[in-house]
Amino acid sequence: MPNRAFDNQPAPADAFPELAARFQQRYEAVRELTETRYLRADWAERNAELEQDLLPVPAADFLRHPAILYQMFVDEHVLPHELPFVRAQLPDDVLLSEDTVGTPPTVALPPNGIQTSSNTVHQLYHLLRYEQETGRRLQNARTIVEWGGGFGSLMRLIFRMHGGSPTCVVIDTPIFSAVQWLYLSAVLGEEDVVLHDSGPVRLVEGRINLVPIGLVSDLSVTADLFISNWALNESTQAAQDDVVSRQWFGAESLLLAMHGHHPLTGIAREWGARTVPLGSFMPGQQYLVA
């Protein structure tokens, strides 16, 4: 199997304009596939703002939209704390190199000047800490489910880091599912991305399957790994209850990042997860891993 971190080259930069031109069509196909029971009022507002500003054609710098930039890019103060660990765990800086799609904010890393973002470093830190704390390897997870995928950055890294062809599922609101389709198609290539627009959801193996929250009841999956980094914190009680009732979509392993003392902490610990502090540089934040 190919090692995606090295062999899976990003889609050509000129793919973005053509994908952006089809964004509205793809979004309209999933627009009504929502579940209001799962969506907090603050996120409903952000979703509406994002929809208004991205249609009909997202700007080339769409990652600078406030609903993305200020919600999904961690502050650069984490870099001095997380970057040394990430670099110590990786054989080289290939995965740190930031894709230019969406014009994300970047910083140059010494000594080679490679452009990365605090967000990419932060997300690699999550994945590598998960491997360190559990003794598990991402490459052994054949099916991975992520609840709340942002603009698709973490799944981009998982797909490249995995080294094989995992079946990935990202569950999110319709507008963010469409944003993930745009970003991941531009970065990885559209052939690796499936945006589902009707039920029952028939997952495509070896691809990234984007599932709007309105189709969750039509989704049948047994995951090896379930991931949610602060997204369950920011979902409603109904969403949290449904994820727990489905036993984390059947996953035997967990990577959860959330606020300390969140009610889900006790539930996850009863299920077998361990609480691990994220780090002194982010007080009050924790991992729950199994």
Domain that holds residue 65: 15-73+123-289
Specify if 88 maps to a domain: no
Is the overall model pTM greater than 0.75, yes or no? yes
Q: How far is CA 46 from CA 41, 50, 171, 175, in A?
A: 9, 6, 17, 10
Specify if 66 maps to a domain: yes
What residue type is assigned to position 143 of the chain?
Answer: T
- 148 vs 130: CA distance, rounded Å: 18
Specify if 24 maps to a domain: yes
Residues 6+ apart with CB under 8 A from 266: none
Specify if 8 maps to a domain: no
Specify if 100 maps to a domain: no
pLDDT at 6: 35
Specify if 4 maps to a domain: no
Q: Determine phi and psi for 270, rounding to 5 degrees.
A: -65, -30
User: How many domains would you assign to the chain?
Assistant: 1
Specify if 6 maps to a domain: no
CATH number at residue 172: 3.40.50.150
Q: Which residues of the chain have pLDDT under 50?
A: 1-10
pLDDT at 54: 95
Q: Compute the residue count for the chain.
A: 290
pLDDT per position as a tens digit, 110-141: 999 999 999 999 999 999 999 999 999 999 99
Regarding beta strands 253-259 and 274-277, do their DSSP bridges make them parallel or antiparallel, or are they unpaired?
Answer: unpaired
Specify if 216 maps to a domain: yes
